[in-house]
Amino acid sequence: MAAGERWGPGGGRVFVFDRRLEQCDSAERALEVAGGSGYRDFRAAVCQAFGIASDGTFVITTTSRTVVSDLNFHQIVQDGVTLYLLQSVNQTLSLATRERIDFLPHYDTLVKSGMYEYYASEGQNPLPFALAELIDNSLSATAKNTEIRNIQIRLIFDESQGKPAVVVLDNGSGMTSKQLNNWAVYRLSKFTSRGTFDSDHAGYVRPAPVVRSLNSDISYFGVGGKQAVFFVGQSVRMISKPADSQDVHELLLSKEDFEKKEKNKESIYSGFIRNREPADSAHVTSDEEKFLHNLIFEEKHKKSFTAVVITGVEQAHVQYLKNYFTHWTRQLAHIYHYYIHGPKGNEHKTVKKEEGPPNNIDIEITMYEKGKVPRIVNLREMQDDMQTLYIRTAADSFEFKALVDGDGVVEGIIRYHPFLYYTETYPEDPCFPSKQKDDDDEDDDCYIVEKEARGKRPIFECFWNGRLIPYTSVNDFEWCAPPKKRALGPIECYNRISGALFTNDKFQVSTNKLTFMDLEMKLKDKDTLYTRIVNGQEQRVKIERDFALWLKQCHESFDKQIRFVGFKGIITRTDL
Amino acid sequence: MAAGERWGPGGGRVFVFDRRLEQCDSAERALEVAGGSGYRDFRAAVCQAFGIASDGTFVITTTSRTVVSDLNFHQIVQDGVTLYLLQSVNQTLSLATRERIDFLPHYDTLVKSGMYEYYASEGQNPLPFALAELIDNSLSATAKNTEIRNIQIRLIFDESQGKPAVVVLDNGSGMTSKQLNNWAVYRLSKFTSRGTFDSDHAGYVRPAPVVRSLNSDISYFGVGGKQAVFFVGQSVRMISKPADSQDVHELLLSKEDFEKKEKNKESIYSGFIRNREPADSAHVTSDEEKFLHNLIFEEKHKKSFTAVVITGVEQAHVQYLKNYFTHWTRQLAHIYHYYIHGPKGNEHKTVKKEEGPPNNIDIEITMYEKGKVPRIVNLREMQDDMQTLYIRTAADSFEFKALVDGDGVVEGIIRYHPFLYYTETYPEDPCFPSKQKDDDDEDDDCYIVEKEARGKRPIFECFWNGRLIPYTSVNDFEWCAPPKKRALGPIECYNRISGALFTNDKFQVSTNKLTFMDLEMKLKDKDTLYTRIVNGQEQRVKIERDFALWLKQCHESFDKQIRFVGFKGIITRTDL
Ligand SMILES: Nc1ncnc2c1ncn2[C@@H]1O[C@H](COP(=O)(O)OP(=O)(O)OP(=O)(O)O)[C@@H](O)[C@H]1O
Ligand SMILES: Nc1ncnc2c1ncn2[C@@H]1O[C@H](COP(=O)(O)OP(=O)(O)OP(=O)(O)O)[C@@H](O)[C@H]1O
Ligand SMILES: [Mg+2]
Ligand SMILES: [Mg+2]
ipTM confidence: 0.89
Q: Which residue has the higher pLDDT, A67 or B566?
A: A67
Q: How far is the CA of A565 from the centre of ligand 4 (A)?
A: 57
pLDDT, one tens digit per residue, over B246-281 is 999 999 999 999 999 999 989 999 999 999 999 999
Q: Which residue among B192, B249, B514 sits closest to A106, beta carbon to beta carbon?
A: B192
Which of A105, A442, A568 lies closest to B484 in CB terms?
A442
CB-based contacts of B173, cutoff 8 Å, min separation 6: B141, B142, B144, B242, B243, B304
Nearest CA in chain A to B259: A192
Chain B residues with CB-CB distance to A120 below 8 A: 510, 514-515, 517
A338-389 confidence digits (pLDDT tens)? 999 999 999 976 555 555 445 799 999 999 999 999 999 999 999 999 999 9
What is the spatial distance between Cα A308 and Cα A149, in angstroms, rounded to a whole number?
A: 16
- Axis-axis angle for helices B127-141, B315-323 (nearest 10): 80
Give how far A472 is from chain B: nearest CA, Å. Answer: 10
CB contact set of A122 (below 8 Å; sequence gap of 6+): A471
Task: Give the span between the Cα atoms of B18 and B562, in whole angstroms.
Answer: 93
- Residue A443 CB coordination number (10 Å): 12
For position A440, what pLDDT does the model report?
Answer: 42
* Cβ atoms < 10 Å from Cβ of B56: 11
- Answer with the residue of higher pLDDT: B561 or B60: B60
Per-residue burial over A160-178, b = 16 or more CB atoms within 10 Å of its CB, e = otherwise: ebbbbbbbbbbbbbbbbbb
Between residues B512 and A350, the one the model is more confident about: B512
* Inter-chain touch A176–B100, beta carbons under 8 Å: no
Ligand 4 centroid vs A81 CA: distance in angstroms? 27
Answer for the pair B366, B154: CB distance below 8 angstroms, yes or no: yes
The β-bridge partners of A403 are A409, A529
Sheet holding A408-416, edge to edge: A467-474, A460-464, A497-503, A408-416, A396-404, A529-534, A537-539
CA A133 to ligand 1: nearest atom = 27
Mean pLDDT (whole number) for B543-553: 95
Residue (of B286, B370, B386) closest to B338 by Cα position: B386
Of ligand 1's listed atoms, the one at least distance from the Cα of A170 is 1
CA of B304 to the centre of ligand 4 (A): 19
Q: Where are the alpha helices (DSSP H) in B13-86?
A: 39-50, 73-76
- CB-CB neighbors (< 8 A) of A187 in chain B: 105-109, 112
**Cβ within 8 Å, pair B510-A221:** no
Average pLDDT over residues B419-442: 66
**C-alpha span between B354 and B372 (Å, rounded):** 33
The pLDDT score that the predictor gives to residue A35 is: 82
* B50 burial level (CB within 10 Å; 0-12, 13-18, 19+): middle
Which run of H or E residues covers position B154?
strand B149-157
DSSP per-residue string spanning A490-551: -GGGGGSEEEEEEE-TTS-B-TTSSSBSSHHHHHTSTT-EEEEEETTEEE-S-HHHHHHHHH
For ligand 2, is residue B225 a contact (CB within 6 Å)?
A: yes
* pLDDT value at residue A351: 52
Mean pLDDT, range B328-342, rounded to an integer? 97
Radius of gyration, alpha carbons of chain A: 32
Chain A residue numbers with beta carbons less than 8 Å from the beta carbon of B245 are 64-65
Q: What's the pTM? A: 0.90
pLDDT at position B450: 38
Q: pLDDT band for B396, please (50, 70, 90 cuts).
A: very high
Chain B interface test: which of A75, A99, A254 (most B C-beta within 10 Å): A99
Rounded Cα distance between A549 and A488, Å, is 7
Per the document, the length of chain B is 576
Query: Do B237 and B274 touch, CB atoms closer than 8 A?
Result: no
Q: Whole-number mean pLDDT of chain B?
A: 88
What's the pLDDT score for residue B575?
A: 64
DSSP-derived 3-state class of residue A152: strand
The pLDDT of residue B197? 46
Condensed to tens digits (0 to 9), the pLDDT of residues B107-135 reads 999 999 888 887 777 678 899 999 999 99
pLDDT band at A203 (very low <50, low <70, confident <90, very high): confident
CA of B67: which chain A residue's CA is closest? Answer: A198
pLDDT for residue A10: 53
Give the sign of the dihedral formed by CA B135, CA B139, CA B145, CA B147. Answer: positive
Of A101, A275, A448, the CB nearest to B270: A101
Place A199 in a pLDDT band, splitting at 50, 70 and 90.
very low
Q: What is the per-residue pLDDT for B143?
A: 95
* Residue B70 pLDDT greater than 70, yes or no: yes
- What residues are in contact with ligand 1 under a 6 Å CB criterion? A 133, 137-138, 141, 170, 172-175, 179, 183, 189-190, 219-226, 306
| Mean pLDDT of chain A, nearest integer | 88
Residue B524: count of CB within 10 angstroms of its CB: 15
Q: Nearest-CA distance from A561 to chain B in Å?
A: 11
Å between A364 CA and nearest CA of chain B: 31
Q: Return the top range by mean pLDDT from A474-488, B426-440, B453-467.
A: B453-467
CB-CB under 8 Å, A98 with B272: yes
Distance between Cα A137 and ligand 3 center (Å) = 5
**Chain A residue at shortest CA distance from B90:** A246
- pLDDT, residue A434, reads 47
Atom of ligand 1 nearest to the CA of A186: 18
DSSP states of A409-447: EEEEEEEE--EETTEE-SPPPSSS--SS--TGGGT-S--
Q: How far is A7 from chain B (nearest CA, A)?
A: 13
Residue A183's pLDDT band, with cuts at 50, 70 and 90, is very high
Radius of gyration of chain B (CA): 32
Put simply, the answer to whether A564 touches B571 (Cβ < 8 Å) is no
Q: Which has the higher per-residue pLDDT, B370 or A354?
A: B370
- Categorize the per-residue pLDDT at B202 as very low, low, confident or very high, splitting at 50, 70 and 90: low
How far, in Å, CA of A405 to CA of A527, rounded?
Answer: 7
Which site among B101, B240, B438, B575 would you substitute to test the A interface, given the most A Cβ atoms closer than 10 Å to its Cβ? B101
- The more confident residue out of A511 and B440 is A511
For residue B188, give the DSSP letter: -
Spell out the residues 6+ positions from residue A27 whose beta carbon is closer than 8 angstroms to its own.
none
Residue B226 beta carbon below 6 angstroms from any ligand 2 atom: yes
pLDDT value for A519: 92
Closest to A284 measured CA to CA, from A306, A265, A311: A311
pLDDT tens, position by position, A11-21: 789 999 999 98
- Structure confidence by residue, pLDDT tens digits, A250-282: 999 999 999 999 999 899 999 999 999 999 999
Under 8 Å between Cβ of A225 and A218? no
CB B295 within 8 A of CB B309: yes
Residue B264 has a pLDDT of 92
**pLDDT over 80 at B57, yes or no:** yes
Amino acid at A323: N
Reported confidence tier of residue A564, pLDDT bands at 50, 70, 90: low
Render pLDDT for A380-415 as a digit per residue (tens, 0 to 9).
Answer: 999 999 999 999 999 999 999 999 987 889 999 999
Mean pLDDT of A515-519: 90
pLDDT of the residue at A563: 52
Ligand nearest to the CA of A226: 1
Give pLDDT, residue A263. Answer: 92
pLDDT class for A22, splitting at 50, 70, 90?
Answer: confident
Other CB atoms within 10 A of residue B565 CB: 12
pLDDT exceeding 90 applies to what percent of chain A? 70
Cβ-Cβ contacts under 8 Å, B275 against chain A:
63, 93, 96-99
Between CA A241 and CA A277 the distance in angstroms is 10
Mean pLDDT of A137-145: 96
Query: Can you give the length of chain A in residues?
Result: 576
Please tell me the distance between residue B305's alpha carbon and the centre of ligand 1 in angstroms: 43
Sign of the torsion formed by the C-alpha atoms of B254, B256, B259 and B264: negative
**How far is residue B48's CA from residue B53's CA, in Å, rounded to a whole number?**
8
- Kindly report, residue by residue over A88-118, the tens digit of the pLDDT: 999 999 899 999 999 999 999 999 988 888 7
* Ligand 2 contact, B183 CB (< 6 A): yes
- Other Cβ atoms closer than 10 A to A409: 15
**For residues A501 and A474, is the Cβ–Cβ distance under 8 A?**
yes
Is the pLDDT assigned to residue A5 strictly greater than 70? no
pLDDT of B452 strictly over 90: no
Per-residue pLDDT band at B567 (split at 50, 70, 90): low
Written as one letter, the residue type at B204 is Y
